[in-house]
Copies of this chain bind each other. A is one copy, B any other.
């Protein structure tokens, strides 16, 4: 076992004794899950998947499909059109609450069922099969392999889906969508019935973590903007009526599903997924939540953690052959980084003899925020003659 997997294994064993919670039973297929199953997977920037426990067990994705279908809707329609049909406010309410805005009937957010159904209704498609096809293709691209629908779970979802049908009829009564109710709800039931393993979910998570590019396949699945929008919504609404406390205590965008899956994202760092069927009173997996919480603490995943040098480029100062100095900037340049670069330059003003040519080479910079670059450029107005910025 590789060293990182060993770390994951230790985390898994730490939470294994937790046996609180109940397996979901609203459809028979979920109720038959082995409650003791437990798995964890992590995918880093190079796309290597590490997984431990019952990492080959497949289960239906259920609500974890919601952020990915949202990503597809954002790609197809754009943010403003999506927000015309579904809000982005956490509601403090359970996943199956009705949760429509008073007058508009707009569901409060895409992570509650009503909002997810509204989101699914936005996906293009000539019929259920066509729409479902697009959705499954997107989920597969996020996972880096072809995913399949569990037809018996789908049949059961459809047969017992009165509450979701009710939500769909309410949405249509408010004009949130217009086509046949069945087209939308059957598509929704099918998207919930896609089979995944914890490894799939970790890759899907990592694709969000790295700005929409699947680190395993290298393919761009959605735009960086769409990925950011999805992570934002997951941050505020992903854990139902525990979302606020989750952000406080664990601090990662996450999404749980009733089959026991949980996916969490450490943006720019890695994707995580855990799986264990027993659920707490919010509908979140007890052990999967504990796994992610432990990881967050020991691996520094909290979104609101401070990070050294965030947005500050590496600064390398070399003597030039011609007697001048060459300052090479590398990495990311954010606003705070500008201030740090300016400080280095001012030090050089003080230490170098007057007139020494100083070339600041910004050509190696990666991500540069436009405001930061303006500020950096403006710094040169104050610099003595001889200081030049090369972009």
Chain A positions within 8 Å of B, measured between CB atoms, are 2-4, 6-7, 42, 44-46, 48, 79, 83, 87-92, 98, 108-109, 162-163, 165-170, 172-173, 181, 209-211, 224, 227-229, 231-233, 235-237, 241-245, 247-248, 251, 253, 266-270, 295, 298-311, 314, 331-332, 334-336, 338-340, 343, 366-367, 369-372, 374-375, 377-379, 381-382
Contacts and interface: CB of A to CB of B under 8 A. Distances in A.
11 contacts: A3-B378, A3-B381, A232-B247, A233-B248, A236-B248, A268-B307, A268-B308, A268-B310, A268-B336, A269-B335, A308-B332
Given A3-B382, A228-B306, 11 more contacts: A3-B377, A4-B378, A45-B336, A46-B343, A89-B92, A162-B170, A162-B181, A166-B169, A228-B305, A309-B331, A309-B332
Contact of A251 (B44, B169, B232): B232
Contacts of A229: 248
A89 B243 contact: yes
A380 B371 CA distance: 42
B173 A304 contact: no
Contacts of A172: 162
| Number of copies of chain A assembled together | 4
B4 A248 contact: no
B378 A7 contact: yes
A68 to B, nearest CB: 16
Contact of A339 (B44, B79, B372): B44
B370 A308 contact: no
Contacts of A306: 209-211, 224, 227-228, 267-268, 367
A334 B270 CA distance: 10
Closest 9 CB pairs of A and B: A3-B378, A298-B371, A166-B169, A300-B369, A162-B173, A89-B244, A269-B336, A268-B310, A163-B173
B88 A245 contact: yes
A162 B168 CA distance: 9
Contacts of A92: 89-92, 108
Contacts of A2: 382
Given A370-B298, A371-B298, A378-B3, A304 B89 contact: no
A241 to B, nearest CB: 6
A116 to B, nearest CB: 15
Contacts of A307: 267-268, 307, 310-311, 332, 367
A300 B311 contact: yes
Given A224-B306, A304-B267, A311-B300, A48 B339 contact: yes
Contacts of A371: 7, 295, 298-300
Contact of A90 (B6, B236, B375): B236
Given A167-B166, A169-B165, A336-B269, A366 B247 contact: no
A87 B269 contact: no
Interface-centre pick from A162, A163, A211, A381 (highest chain B CB count, 10 A) = A162
Contacts of A308: 268, 331-332, 366-367
A330 to B, nearest CB: 9
Contacts of A228: 251, 302, 304-306
Given A3-B375, A6-B378, A300 B334 contact: yes
Nearest to A298: B371
A10 to B, nearest CB: 8
B233 A244 contact: yes
A89 B90 contact: yes
Contact of A367 (B170, B300, B381): B300
B268 A298 contact: no
A245 B235 CA distance: 11
